[in-house]
């Protein structure tokens, strides 16, 4: 029984419901690949597959439209599989069950996969539409966007021929995206000497908790507290007043999250214990005062702990605390072309005691300007190297620099205004999209990204707003049928 069959636009929802039945977690796209190739065959459409499993299906131009510019439509085949703990679901075989709720489509207990199933469905509806008065359309379906973008990374520049591309993987109706940030990791590893702990000392556990955290791209400009920075400041300032030794430092978690918590164990003289606790209370008030309402739940706690087997040597302790103190975190530069867009940022993501008496410091850099990304990574490298750390950079992925004079942008803006009688917003995002990788290999490609409104992507609360799917479809059809003639 069809749940979505009565919704508009009918072809999109019909294909979307079919796609819900096809398991397609990242790196397990075999079934959706077969489905798409079968669809092409049934409809006598030319199709091909590359070595990593990306698919291209081509719709020839309508009669008389051969002189129009070719347009490439792009989505990704895979989805994120998240489910509620109490919901049984086998991601290799069970269908996603869509339901309609208050104007939105959502799934029962799992991610819906509208990211990017709605893009796939729109491409299929376009490919199927016999009456579409458009030039040649190339539909590109990539694999593995959600767990490493390996489809886009391995995409060959000659897999498609069009020089204009619409990516269908963004989640805010009314916004046309024209740029994204590239990213890379910079990781430092420091060694220290373990020093024995004398019996006459005492140990304290310190915890910085309750910070907001958030996405290291989308939310880096909001000024939230960084638990690694706050803990480090506490330890560094305390060590200027008291004789303390650091026995453990454990701050942050995911590389793409602003760190929310940090824990440390220090060793100090028993006589100083009370003074240190008092001093930490004062430090807490200073930090609370700095952040005010932005970090209402921030807590700094200190409690007596059992003596650890060793502490780090003084020389390296000073180096570590200085390195974390000068290591940049946050926005480095704002876009010179677009208002309110972060151009370059860095996230001090974590610092942790690790095996074999080492400390690992993980940082991530993002920028829509490739050279600026490498420059801030080098800045972080210098900080860590001065402290004697060994530093490595990940290869990373490239950004997509906004082009405000883009032809497809102007055409889409005009379509939007004509259809909905209002101007769309034009934005770039300070996070990664496959477009950066496509752009890197096809220099000069004219590209935008738009989609319907999706909320809660990558969570079991994922939902798509039905009325925005109608707008998405109307805009897409208008744009592909308005492509200008070839020069
Ligand atoms: Zn996506």
pLDDT, tens digit (0-9, with 9 covering 90-100), for 417-442: 999 999 999 999 898 889 999 988 89
pLDDT, tens digit (0-9, with 9 covering 90-100), for 310-362: 999 999 999 999 999 999 999 999 998 888 899 999 999 999 999 999 999 99
C-alpha–C-alpha distance, residues 96 and 109, integer Å: 9
Predicted confidence band at 4 (pLDDT cuts at 50, 70, 90)?
very high
> Quick one: which of 456, 449, 455 has its CA closest to 472?
449
Helix (H, G, I), strand (E, B) or coil at 6: coil
Question: What is residue 302's predicted lDDT score, i.e. its pLDDT?
Answer: 97
Predicted confidence band at 218 (pLDDT cuts at 50, 70, 90)?
confident
Active site residue: 17, 18, 29, 78, which one? 78
How close is the Cα of 145 to the center of ligand 1, in Å? 7
Active site residue: 17, 115, 116, 145, which one? 145
Beta pairing class for 175-179 and 425-428: parallel
The verdict on whether 78 is a catalytic residue reads: yes
Q: What is the mean pLDDT of residues 96-122?
A: 96
Top pLDDT among 324 and 459 is at 324
Tokens of 363: 């940082």
Task: Kindly list the protein residues that place their beta carbon closer than 5 angstroms to ligand 1, a single-atom ion.
Answer: 115-116, 169
In the predicted structure, residue 243 carries a pLDDT above the cut 80:
yes
How close is the Cα of 171 to the center of ligand 1, in Å? 9
How close is the Cα of 289 to the center of ligand 1, in Å? 39
Q: What is the mean pLDDT of residues 220-231?
A: 96
Q: Find residue 195's DSSP bridge partners.
A: 311
C-alpha–C-alpha distance, residues 326 and 382, integer Å: 10
Tokens of 388: 């004697």
> 């087997």: which residue's tokens?
309
How close is the Cα of 271 to the center of ligand 1, in Å? 57
Q: Reading across the β-sheet that carries 454-455, which strands appear in turn? A: 98-101, 104-107, 463-465, 454-455
CB 458 within 8 A of CB 145: no
Question: What is residue 372's predicted lDDT score, i.e. its pLDDT?
Answer: 95
Question: What is residue 337's predicted lDDT score, i.e. its pLDDT?
Answer: 85
How close is the Cα of 349 to the center of ligand 1, in Å? 24
C-alpha–C-alpha distance, residues 139 and 269, integer Å: 69
Mean pLDDT of the chain: 95
The verdict on whether 66 is a catalytic residue reads: no
Question: What is residue 257's predicted lDDT score, i.e. its pLDDT?
Answer: 87
How close is the Cα of 452 to the center of ligand 1, in Å? 12
How close is the Cα of 109 to the center of ligand 1, in Å? 19
> Quick one: which of 193, 196, 230, 200 has its CA closest to 213?
230
Helix locations, 292-422, DSSP H: 314-326, 370-386, 407-420
Question: What is residue 84's predicted lDDT score, i.e. its pLDDT?
Answer: 87
Q: Find residue 449's DSSP bridge partners.
A: 167, 177
pTM of this structure: 0.81
Q: Where are the beta strands (DSSP E) in 77-193?
A: 98-101, 104-107, 137-142, 164-167, 175-179, 182-191
Q: Where are the beta strands (DSSP E) in 298-341?
A: 299-305, 310-312, 330-334
Question: What is residue 458's predicted lDDT score, i.e. its pLDDT?
Answer: 86
pLDDT, tens digit (0-9, with 9 covering 90-100), for 291-303: 999 999 999 999 9
Find which of 5-9, 149-153, 382-386 is predicted with most confidence, using mean pLDDT.
382-386
How many other CB atoms are there within 10 angstroms of residue 73's CB atom? 24
How close is the Cα of 464 to the center of ligand 1, in Å? 13
Q: What is the mean pLDDT of residues 65-93?
A: 94
Beta pairing class for 164-167 and 446-449: parallel
How close is the Cα of 161 to the center of ligand 1, in Å? 23
Q: What is the mean pLDDT of residues 247-255?
A: 92
CA within 13 Å, CB half, 141: 33
In the predicted structure, residue 413 carries a pLDDT above the cut 90:
yes
In the predicted structure, residue 1 carries a pLDDT above the cut 80:
no
CA 31, chain centre distance (Å): 26
């Amino acid at each position: 029984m069809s749940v979505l069959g009565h919704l508009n636009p009918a072809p999109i929802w019909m294909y979307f419901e079919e796609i819900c039945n096809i398991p397609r977690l990242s790196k397990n796209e075999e079934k959706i690949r077969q489905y798409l190739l079968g669809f092409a065959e049934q409809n006598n459409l030319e199709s091909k597959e590359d070595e990593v499993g990306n698919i291209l299906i081509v719709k020839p131009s309508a009669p008389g439209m051969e002189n129009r510019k070719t347009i490439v439509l792009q989505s990704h085949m895979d989805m994120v599989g998240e489910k509620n703990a109490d919901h049984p679901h086998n991601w290799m075989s069970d269908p996603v069950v869509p339901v309609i709720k208050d104007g939105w489509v959502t799934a029962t207990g799992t991610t819906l996969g509208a990211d990017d199933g709605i893009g796939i469905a729109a491409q299929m509806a376009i490919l199927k539409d016999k009456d579409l008065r458009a030039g040649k359309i190339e539909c590109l379906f990539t694999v593995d966007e959600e767990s490493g973008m390996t489809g886009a990374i391995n995409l060959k520049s000659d897999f498609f021929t069009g020089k204009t591309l619409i990516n269908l993987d963004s989640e805010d109706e009314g916004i046309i995206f024209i740029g994204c940030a590239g990213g890379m990791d910079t990781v430092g590893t420091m060694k220290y000497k373990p020093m024995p702990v004398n019996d006459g000392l005492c140990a304290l556990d310190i915890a910085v908790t309750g910070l907001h955290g958030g996405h290291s791209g989308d939310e880096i400009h909001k000024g939230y507290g960084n638990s690694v920075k706050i803990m480090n400041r506490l330890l560094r300032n305390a060590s200027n007043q008291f004789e303390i030794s650091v026995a453990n430092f454990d701050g942050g978690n995911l590389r793409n999250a602003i760190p929310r918590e940090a824990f440390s164990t220090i060793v100090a003289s028993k006589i100083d214990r009370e003074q240190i606790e008092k001093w930490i209370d004062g430090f807490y008030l200073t930090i609370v005062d700095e952040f005010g309402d932005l970090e209402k739940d921030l807590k700094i706690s200190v409690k007596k702990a059992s003596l650890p087997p060793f502490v780090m040597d003084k020389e390296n302790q000073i180096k570590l605390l200085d390195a974390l103190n000068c290591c940049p975190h946050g926005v480095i530069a704002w876009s010179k072309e677009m208002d309110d867009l972060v151009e370059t940022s860095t996230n001090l993501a974590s610092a942790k005691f690790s095996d074999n008496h080492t400390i690992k410091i993980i940082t991530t850099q993002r920028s829509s300007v490739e050279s600026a990304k490498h420059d801030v990574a080098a800045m972080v490298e210098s900080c860590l190297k001065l402290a004697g750390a060994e530093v490595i950079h990940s290869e990373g992925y490239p950004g997509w620099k906004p082009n405000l004079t883009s032809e497809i942008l102007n055409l889409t803006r005009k379509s939007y205004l004509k259809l909905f009688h209002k101007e769309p917003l034009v934005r770039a995002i300070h996070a990664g999209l496959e477009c950066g990788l496509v752009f890197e290999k096809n220099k000069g490609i004219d590209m935008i990204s738009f989609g319907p409104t999706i909320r809660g992507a990558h969570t079991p609360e994922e939902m798509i707003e039905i009325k925005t799917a109608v707008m998405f479809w109307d805009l897409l059809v208008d744009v592909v049928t308005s492509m200008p003639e070839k020069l």
